[in-house]
């Protein structure tokens, strides 16, 4: 398995190909690769990303079949099943890089802000389970005087939410903590820009 920093470099290069419109679609459709992967996989990075239709990890990092182990959930939140999925991949495949991939203008962040500002009717309990996990990142910002500056609020809250997920993965699992201390597992936070397609790694690198 390739080390975390090398994996990070691969993702950076892939995102550069994506933003430069140099995508190598070959890997997506290679049937030889399909057969190779039928019995084995060695994904070089684990991505916990948002479900947003505009942020598919394989495409924005220009990767093919078998390259990424991807968990997607609205708001890239960390609940027990997400921790379990990351543990599974890191432990089973030896993958050494975990990226929490949020993005600008995230609907889950906006929904949480609207809920806190009471501009929105109460929602389903299931959706509330997501909002409740985003809320701790957003609430302090609401109280800091940014209340009426929605643009800045969404930007800062998005980043705070990514940082919170990174921290939760780093400290919310004994298995991951041990892999970090002893096996060079790296958990980093990144934000995808819907505006220009670039991924900025801003936490833990």
Residues that bind Zn ion (CB under 5 A): 50, 52, 106
Identify which of residues 96 and 159 has a Cβ nearer to Zn ion in the complex.
159
When the beta carbons of 50 and 187 are compared against Zn ion, the nearer one is: 50
- Please, which residue, 77 or 106, has the CB nearer to Zn ion? 106
Cα-Cα end-to-end distance for the chain: 20
CB of 131 to Zn ion, least distance (A): 13
Q: How far is the CB of 179 from Zn ion (least distance, A)?
A: 27
Nearest CB to Zn ion, comparing residues 50 and 179: 50
Report the alpha-carbon distance of residue 116 to residue 128 in Å, rounded. Answer: 12
* CB 7 to Zn ion: min, Å: 23
- Nearer of residues 134 and 176 to Zn ion, judged by Cβ: 134
Measured CA to CA, the distance from residue 142 to residue 82 in angstroms comes to: 27
Closest separation between CB of residue 49 and Zn ion, Å? Answer: 8
Closest CA to 55 of 83, 80, 41, 74: 74
Q: Please state the closest distance from residue 27 (CB atom) to Zn ion, in A.
A: 26
CB–CB of 133/167 below 8 Å? no
- In the chain, DSSP assigns E strands to 45-49, 68-72, 97-103, 186-192, 199-203
Q: What is the DSSP letter of 67?
A: T
């Amino acid at each position: 398995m390739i080390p975390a920093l090398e994996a990070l470099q691969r993702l950076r290069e892939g995102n550069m190909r994506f933003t430069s419109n140099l995508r190598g679609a070959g890997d997506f459709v290679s049937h030889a690769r399909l057969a190779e992967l039928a019995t084995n996989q060695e994904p070089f990075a684990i991505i916990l990303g948002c479900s947003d239709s505009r942020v598919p990890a394989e495409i924005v990092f220009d990767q093919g079949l078998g390259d990424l182990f991807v968990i997607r959930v609205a708001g890239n939140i960390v609940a027990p099943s997400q921790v379990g999925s990351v543990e599974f991949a890191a432990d089973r495949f030896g993958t050494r890089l975990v990226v929490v991939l949020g993005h600008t203008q995230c609907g889950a962040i906006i929904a949480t802000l609207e809920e806190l500002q009471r501009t929105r009717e109460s929602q389903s309990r299931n959706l509330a389970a997501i909002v409740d996990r985003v809320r701790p990142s957003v609430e302090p910002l609401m109280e800091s005087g940014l209340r009426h500056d929605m643009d800045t609020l969404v930007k800062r809250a998005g980043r705070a939410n990514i940082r919170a997920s990174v921290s939760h993965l780093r400290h919310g699992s004994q298995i991951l903590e041990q892999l970090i201390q002893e096996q060079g597992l790296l958990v980093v936070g990144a934000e995808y820009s819907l505006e220009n397609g670039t991924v900025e790694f801003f936490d833990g690198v």
